[in-house]
Amino acid sequence: MLRDAHADAALHARSIFGAGEVGLDADRRSAAASTYKVAVLLEVACQTAEGRIGAADRIRVPSDRRTTGPTGISILNDDVEMSVRDLAMLMIHVSDNTATDVLHELVGHEAVTARLRALGLTDTSFELDCHHLIAALLDELGDDRDALTPEELAERFRRSPSLRGERGNTTTPRDMTSLLSAVWRDEAGPPEACSEVRRVMGHQFAPHRLSTAYPNGPSVSGKTGTLFGGIRSEVGVVDFGGGEAYAVAVYLRGHRVARRDPDADRAIGRVARLAIDAIREAR
């Protein structure tokens, strides 16, 4: 399926409340892209549950505070004032980069990292907010990137350390399914914090990747990740009810450098379903 989609991928799926797992290069470091926002959401929810910040606290985001991005506050012109919990919803629902950076600054990078380490995610490193991640990637592509031919630009993408998962925000499929499993089992923080993460992830609007695996039936909660150079991914939970739920993480790299690649997007759902169905059949 990946070959037909002109892509390769690292992936992992596991039963959250039972036994069984399926992996393909499950411990390979990959560019996390926006899937790292799940960690920011978890820290926001935990600090709220611990009383360090208020879910209804208002934050003003001035018009000159914008992180590049195609959605949410990132594309608005005027000052915006929102609650912490609504910023968190935008961060996941439409992957709003500005909302993410505001929240990342609010809870603190050190706190996000410390919580991940406490959960045993030793192969995950989320060092940058969205602004610095994009800046680092553009620096790798070079100041002359706009003058390059498509072939030359594609070669720059292939050599980019950030896109290859060698620096910046990186993780592994196994680490991310571990994180999601801990959230779904109320082990990643206070139960009310885990519940809030599940609620928000259930509202993600992304009908083109993981959700294509099951057009009908189970509920799908997830977070996509996208970067230049063919980086397309999604982490999430497929819940069939009755205590049968599966955490899955697919980090895909398309061989074709295209802004839109529906074949690669659909491949994420197809390989995720293959993995989950294999675990279900083993049960």
Going along the chain from its start, the domains and CATH numbers come out as 7-282 (3.40.710.10)
**Three-state secondary structure call for residue 187:** coil
For the segment 209-231, the average pLDDT, to the nearest whole number, is 93
**Three-state secondary structure call for residue 247:** strand
For the segment 18-39, the average pLDDT, to the nearest whole number, is 97
Q: Is the pTM of this model over 0.75?
A: yes
Tokens 């720059």 identify what position?
A: 156
**Phi (first) and psi of residue 89, to 5 degrees:** -65, -45
| Contact partners, residue 241, CB within 8 Å, separation at least 6 | 218, 219
* Cβ burial, residue 4 (10 Å; 0-12/13-18/19+): exposed
Q: Which pLDDT value is given to residue 148?
A: 87
Handedness of CA 74, 76, 77, 82 (dihedral sign): negative
Q: Is the distance from CB of 171 to CB of 123 less than 8 angstroms? A: yes
For the segment 236-259, the average pLDDT, to the nearest whole number, is 93
Q: What percent of the chain has pLDDT over 90?
A: 87
Q: Which pLDDT value is given to residue 228?
A: 85
Q: Which pLDDT value is given to residue 233?
A: 97
Tell me which amino acid residue 201 is: M
82 confidence band (pLDDT: 50, 70, 90): very high
**Phi (first) and psi of residue 21, to 5 degrees:** -155, 155
Alpha helices, DSSP H only, in the chain? Answer: 37-49, 84-93, 97-107, 109-118, 130-141, 150-159, 173-184, 191-201, 262-282
Tens of pLDDT along 112-145?
999 999 999 999 999 899 999 999 999 999 999 8
**Mean pLDDT estimate for the chain:** 95
